Amino acid sequence: MTRKCRVLQRAALWFRLALLLLSAVGYAAAAGGCSSVAFPSNRHYAACSDLPRLSSSIHWSYDSAAATLSFAFVAPPPKPEGWVSWAINPTADGMLGSQALIAFHQPDGSMGVRTYNITGYESIAEGPIDFNASNLAAEYSGGAMRLYGKLKLPAGMTVVKQVWQVGSSVADGVPQKHGFQPENLQSKGTLDLIKGAISPSGGSTNVKKNVHGVLNAVSWGILLPIGAIIARYLKTFKSADPAWFYLHVTCQIVGYGVGVGGWATGLDLGSKSKGIQYTTHRNIGIILFCLGTLQVFALFLRPSKDHKYRFVWNIYHYLVGYTVIVLGIVNVFKGLEILSVDHKWTMGYIIAVAILGGIALFLEVVTWSVILKRKDARSSSNGV
């Protein structure tokens, strides 16, 4: 009996130790993130949230009776001489129209905060914002900048559209342009001051970007090359005539239709992303649409086999067709780079293109083999 008691006591002791360890782990986890940020003793905030971009966090206290928001924004600038910014946009969910507070080292070396009403992408000018701002201050330590302030909000505004950003340089007291990486372009969302919930913005835009990428990769990058392979190699076999022609036309028309859908989503994205331009990708896309449309019209202007202009039409059709295929594949890679997709998707497309190239190479050998055999057969027949 005594032995059993000792065993039970030891088991109870180990159980307590396990509970203490779990509690310590839980406390350490809870202490991470925004809650671990230390502020001067005179600054306290009721809530905080880690923002999904730029290693930043927002801390705030909201007085619903007075409709005032006291906040602290914390983020590491790319360089010590850079800047950080937090803004509320009362009219949209992006940079244009945002009422921004920007913290950076002032000409005298001290940290300070200035206000900006962002009306364009080219340059910004200091000026008053739509919200009454007070208690503005900033500090820099440990590689991070802390921007403090108090804003008077319109009564009932408990959910705000926030935009935050960091930049690497300031020239003559003017913050210079920030980077245009996905981290920078997606640093926006909504903040519920009561519930403490944040949500990233631009979800529908991201979906459109993905749709745009998939449509173009499938059309210009896969379907049209397959259609060209069908026309190039299947027509060599007499038994495949005229099936190869209908397969070729079907594949190209479907590919062109899907490609037009991708091109249209690209135009829509461009119209909603003023100031953000991917010139090479856009120009290649325009060229592809024009050449693809010419190829469709060429189908209806196709001369008969014995027509005197059929040779000219063939040259035109081949040149334009292969140009579309090459530019299409190049532009798909450009798009993958812009979207900053996972490496596996880029590798997946590389593998798809390699497979199509391998098939084309194999069929090229088979085609020339068939052509040479027919030539030898004709020579033997003529010799007999």
Which residue, of 170, 186, 201, is where some domain finishes?
201
Across 201-229, average pLDDT: 82
Q: Would the pLDDT of 4 be above 60? A: no
The answer to whether 44 is a known ligand-binding residue is: no
pLDDT (tens digit per residue) in 281-294:
889 999 999 999 99
Is residue 188 located within the same domain as residue 211? Answer: no
Is residue 316 located within the same domain as residue 194? Answer: no
The answer to whether 178 is a known ligand-binding residue is: no
User: Does any domain span residue 19?
Assistant: no
Tell which wins on pLDDT, 6 or 311.
Answer: 311
Asked whether the beta carbons of 235 and 214 are under 8 A apart, the reply is no
Across 253-275, average pLDDT: 82
pLDDT of residue 383: 58
pLDDT of residue 296: 86
Is residue 304 located within the same domain as residue 242? Answer: yes
CATH code for the domain of 85 = 2.60.40.1210
Is residue 193 located within the same domain as residue 328? Answer: no
- Confidence band for 147, pLDDT divided at 50, 70 and 90: very high
Is residue 300 located within the same domain as residue 182? Answer: no
Across 14-31, average pLDDT: 40
User: Does any domain span residue 13?
Assistant: no
Estimate to the nearest angstrom the gap between the alpha carbon of 243 and the chain centroid.
41
The answer to whether 343 is a known ligand-binding residue is: no
- Confidence band for 26, pLDDT divided at 50, 70 and 90: very low
Is residue 333 located within the same domain as residue 363? Answer: yes
User: Does any domain span residue 18?
Assistant: no
Which residue, of 201, 216, 236, is where some domain finishes?
201
Is residue 81 located within the same domain as residue 134? Answer: yes
- Confidence band for 7, pLDDT divided at 50, 70 and 90: very low
User: Does any domain span residue 10?
Assistant: no
> What is the rounded CA–CA span in Å between residue 69 and residue 62?
5
pLDDT of residue 115: 94
> What is the rounded CA–CA span in Å between residue 210 and residue 208?
5
Tell which wins on pLDDT, 207 or 196.
Answer: 196
Is residue 185 located within the same domain as residue 297? Answer: no
Is residue 175 located within the same domain as residue 238? Answer: no
User: Does any domain span residue 162?
Assistant: yes
Is residue 39 located within the same domain as residue 134? Answer: yes
The answer to whether 212 is a known ligand-binding residue is: yes
User: Does any domain span residue 106?
Assistant: yes
Which residue, of 201, 220, 254, is where some domain finishes?
201
Q: Would the pLDDT of 355 be above 90? A: yes
pLDDT of residue 323: 94
Q: What does the block give as tokens for 115?
A: 């206000």
Is residue 217 located within the same domain as residue 195? Answer: no
pLDDT of residue 17: 43
Q: What does the block give as tokens for 316?
A: 């035109």
Asked whether the beta carbons of 160 and 193 are under 8 A apart, the reply is yes
CA angle 172, 173, 177 (to 5 degrees): 90
Mean pLDDT of the chain: 84
Q: Nearest 5°: phi and psi at 152? A: -95, 115
pLDDT (tens digit per residue) in 55-94:
999 999 999 899 999 999 999 999 999 999 999 998 877 8
**Residue 167 is part of which domain span?**
34-201
CATH code for the domain of 219 = 1.20.120.1770
pLDDT of residue 28: 36
Asked whether the beta carbons of 104 and 112 are under 8 A apart, the reply is yes
Across 10-39, average pLDDT: 51
User: Does any domain span residue 21?
Assistant: no
Helix (H) or strand (E) holding 362: helix 343-383
Total domains, the chain: 2
